[in-house]
Chain A
């Protein structure tokens, strides 16, 4: 009778400790953001529970102890892997093995899912070959790979994969240029990160011959509703102040960037509507000029109408540039901020697991202490309690090391993330402002080109000669106010633009009138694209300039 009681206690103890450690092992390894197959998650734990039950069904004591040892050995492996990773990172910084991925071309038959061709060069021993040519992957496969990396590497701030096309569908060549630079930047991050370099999925991504699909199912219990429920609890105390401050900043940055992008799109829509109404106004003026009986006024109104239509065309082009430069950059920044926010949340979940593990260790410790104070000292029970305590301590240390590792990496990567985000957005802002200034200058050039037609409505010369009627009138056109390096209305030097626009130089701001030619019969096409005039110092242009001064 007493031996039967001791046997039952022993069996209960094994069942409890084994099940918990199994779940914990799966928990800290797989912490994804999204999961596609929640149904399969519930199947695995139940099957493992059945296995544990079947093991405990045997009356023989020796297999039970062997199972405990196997679990302990399994938990030792991750720490060994992490130490191996540390050694590899040291060798990596010392110009060790490398992996280089270069995008060669992008085929865009399917605009939603283009095909990216890459050349891969590596010296890692795990790879079958040192050079892989024309590796083909679709954009969707890139997204799947990124999703796997985000879910299995909580210590890395994986950037978001850029979208397959920009906000403006027209201009496929420009879209591919942006996509190519974005994906190249993403691949550079993945191939140079020491924590990702030895991931077997990266090798599979490079070497797979028939497309790519992640081998390991990234589903995990902490996703969907459970993840939202966990987020409702107060945050665990964070020893790292930098990361504690970073998450609310990144979250508000994500929200505001999304809002700014939406507002910018609305602004661009309004500008396009304004351009269309200006085109209609121009057409009305052209129709009115047909009815006008005064030749000078008819000609002037016709020119004003064509000018308004040309301005409308330039504004529509300008709005497209606005979307490509700043709206897409804000959208990408908000996507990146979202990923960063979720990765920081993953770290909080790890810390919460660590706290649970500490509580469990303390409960085992108090149980062991109570056994020592018990008057009836049983050797078998004491051994069981001590073994459970040892297992819990090992698990706690494992989690603690993982949290420390994740924290150190995230602190380092968050600085890199902040710097890169700042640099890329500042570059996008500057590019946006430069394009805006460029197109506004084109509008000014178009407006000034019809000044002579307005002033030639009658022989008198218009309002500009009010009070100067007794002076002889110059029949030459007024000079343009935009010169190569200096504008007529300000003494501020024109800032140098960082890149040329549409392959045209800055001299497009000077109409051809500056060459001494009087093109009074310019048509709408010439207004849209002012001809490129060279600064030739011929006597006519010098005389015009001196006359203007």
Chain B
């Protein structure tokens, strides 16, 4: 109770920020942090060490989430320079608070099937995040400038028009170049740079599947509705577009190509037979919705231009999107890498130089992760196969119950004696009810364990695809390195020649510098893809544990409730 009172005082702090005296803010900040540590520390100690390891990636996400309010506070309060001196002592306490927040966020992900609970539960977390906004005020002044730029970019991105997107890309690339010169410590502080986007939740809904019949073949069209809430703006934007399965598949390919090393939330598998059954369409609709929700929850994918086009553009035409991508490539220096690689490939083939080199993983963490993925896939498929066999047997069991009920019903029609006939009739009715319970159990098994196991089997395949895209990026980088060495050789050869033949020296120097810049960019991209892959693998492990835990618990509770109903059926018969 005392903690809640302090939080309420923190909520009241913002409106009166201008009138607070210089001495009061430090004391107010210290008290809630101390109490928070006392409250949350038992949870941290109670958890096993591995759980602590799994919660560590979320420190960044929570840290990211809390920054824009800090920015607003800094803009509105003139006390920034004074709080800067308190930063070193506040930092470890903030980490502990964030760990506590991480553990509390767990059930939100677990409850993703329950839409109402998710909506109602989300807003209190946002308010609690608000209550923690004074704590990170101790951050240094240096990130303030890029934060303000990022805020402006976020506001521009909300309007979702092409010219603004170009501007966003330019500012993002310049920001990344600037961050290269920072040290590791400053680099960690620079991670909050991407924070503002992750705080604006997307409410994505895939609904209203209907079949469109054409002359040669038919396909199913889904409505995709997006609701974007900006806490800085009172307005709420709603967009609804029509998409088909191929559009989702194309979106997956675009995201996979644009973000090597990133694990893209997978799409359901393509199916030809029985693809217009109501049950199949409903399962696919649910899987597509989960895919879009997870893309919107990813800190990098949610800002992808293709994803925005998918959610908002009236027509998601593959050709148009391809042209747009080319336009982006020509306009931005970062995106021109792949096209330049194409030129390098043609240049290399002209000289018939063997540029193929075998990729061998050097990072022990990724080697272990790959092996873990392989064994995980085997086990998941084994469990899923056993579950499908069990579901099939239960369907046949329900059919046998139905047949037995019919036979007993026929016996009740033989009026050998009225009392016996009524008993047989009651037993027949009982079998009908038990059959319905068994059929509902089939649906429960499918929707809880079946859906989750199938989803993570596809997720493992998507993770392997991320390894593949990262490997291709490495090969592109190696080709670029070879091009650099060839250009350097030509340059040195030209320098050794007589001065009369050095007319092409400036051109060769320009080419050499150009190739070296490309190689440096590709090396940085590969390093970023490695970091992104590691982070996504950790996120995948965490979300897999959360989803499996939620589905197992839901499956068990539904089995228990079904068992109680079965007991009620049998014993109600005894009361007759």
Where the two chains meet, the residues of A that have a C-beta atom closer than 8 Å to any C-beta of B are 249-250, 252-253, 256-257, 259-260, 262-264, 266-267, 269-271, 273-274, 276-278, 280-281, 283-285, 287-288, 291, 293-297, 300-301, 304, 418-419, 421-422, 425-426, 429-430, 433-434, 436-437, 440-441, 443-444, 447-448, 450-451, 454-455, 457-460, 462-467, 469-470, 481, 487, 489-490, 492, 494-495
Contact = CB atoms under 8 A, between A and B. Distances in A.
A450 B376 contact: no
Nearest to A498: B574
Interface of B: 4, 43, 46-48, 50-51, 54, 103-104, 106-107, 110-111, 117, 121, 372, 375-376, 379-380, 382-383, 385-387, 389-390, 392-394, 396-397, 399-401, 403-404, 406-408, 410-411, 413-417, 419-420, 423-424, 427, 430, 541, 545, 548-550, 552-554, 556-557, 559-560, 563-564, 566-568, 570-575
B397 A284 contact: no
A308 B107 CA distance: 26
Contacts of B552: 300-301, 304, 454
A256 B407 contact: yes
A459 B567 contact: no
B560 A444 contact: yes
Contacts of B117: 466-467
Contacts of A277: 386, 389-390, 392-393
B419 A426 contact: yes
Contacts of A490: 568
Given A262-B407, A492-B575, 7 more contacts: A273-B397, A274-B393, A284-B386, A291-B375, A296-B549, A426-B420, A459-B43
Contact of B419 (A288, A422, A450): A422
Contacts of B423: 425-426, 429
Given A253-B411, A463-B111, A458 B103 contact: yes
A297 B556 contact: no
B549 A457 contact: yes
A463 B573 contact: no
A459 B557 CA distance: 19
In the A-B complex, list the 4 residue pairs whose CB atoms are closest, starting with the nearest. A260-B407, A437-B570, A422-B417, A422-B420
16 contacts: A253-B414, A271-B397, A281-B389, A283-B386, A291-B375, A296-B51, A433-B573, A454-B549, A457-B545, A462-B107, A463-B110, A465-B107, A466-B111, A487-B567, A489-B568, A494-B571
Nearest to A450: B556
A266 B566 contact: no
Nearest to A268: B400
A458 B394 contact: no
B380 A467 contact: no
A296 B542 CA distance: 12
A304 B420 CA distance: 42
B386 A469 contact: no
B128 to A, nearest CB: 10
A328 to B, nearest CB: 15
B574 A454 contact: no
Given A256-B411, A271-B397, A495-B574, A463 B554 contact: yes
Contacts of A436: 570
B549 A300 contact: yes
A216 to B, nearest CB: 34
B389 A297 contact: no
Contacts of B556: 304, 447, 450-451, 454
Contacts of A448: 560
Residue from B375, B385, B549, B559 with most neighbouring chain A CB atoms (10 Å) = B549
Chain A CB within 10 A, most for which of B111, B404, B560? B404
A283 B383 CA distance: 9
Contact of A294 (B104, B380, B545, B566): B545
A303 B1 CA distance: 37
B574 A422 contact: no
B379 A291 contact: yes
Contacts of B397: 267, 270-271, 273-274
B548 A297 contact: yes
A41 B334 CA distance: 109
Contacts of A274: 390, 393-394, 396-397
Contact of A459 (B47, B401, B407): B47
B550 A281 contact: no
Q: Max chain A CB contacts within 10 Å: which of B386, B424, B573, B575?
A: B386
Nearest to A278: B390
Nearest to B3: A470
B416 A462 contact: no
Given A273-B396, A278-B390, A429-B427, A260 B404 contact: yes
B107 A463 contact: yes
Nearest to B397: A270
Contact of A444 (B396, B407, B553, B564): B564
Nearest to B563: A444
Contacts of B419: 422, 426
B17 to A, nearest CB: 27
Contact of B416 (A421, A429, A437, A441): A421
Contacts of A280: 386, 389-390
Nearest to A273: B393
A263 B107 contact: no
B383 A284 contact: yes
B386 A281 contact: yes
A408 B362 CA distance: 100
A260 B410 contact: yes
Contacts of A270: 393, 396-397, 399-400
A243 to B, nearest CB: 14
Nearest to B549: A457
A250 B103 contact: no
Contact of B549 (A264, A458, A481): A458
B560 to A, nearest CB: 5
Contacts of B392: 277
A170 B559 CA distance: 31
Contacts of A467: 117, 121
A269 B48 CA distance: 45
B316 to A, nearest CB: 36
Nearest to B419: A422
B420 A267 contact: no
A448 B573 CA distance: 24
Contacts of B554: 463
Given A280-B386, A284-B386, A455-B553, A421 B420 contact: yes
B567 A437 contact: yes
A271 B566 CA distance: 15
Contact of B567 (A281, A287, A426, A441): A441
A273 B390 CA distance: 9
A421 B424 CA distance: 13
A296 B48 contact: yes
A457 B51 CA distance: 10
A421 B416 CA distance: 9
Nearest to B573: A433
B463 to A, nearest CB: 15
A459 B40 CA distance: 11
Given A281-B383, A467-B117, A489-B564, A440 B414 contact: no
A181 to B, nearest CB: 20
Given A433-B573, A495-B571, A469 B404 contact: no
B560 A447 contact: yes
A425 B420 contact: yes
Given A466-B117, A495-B574, A444 B416 contact: no
B127 to A, nearest CB: 13
Contacts of B548: 297, 301
B397 to A, nearest CB: 4
A495 to B, nearest CB: 5
Most B C-beta atoms less than 10 A away, residue of A250, A270, A280, A301: A270
A451 B554 CA distance: 11
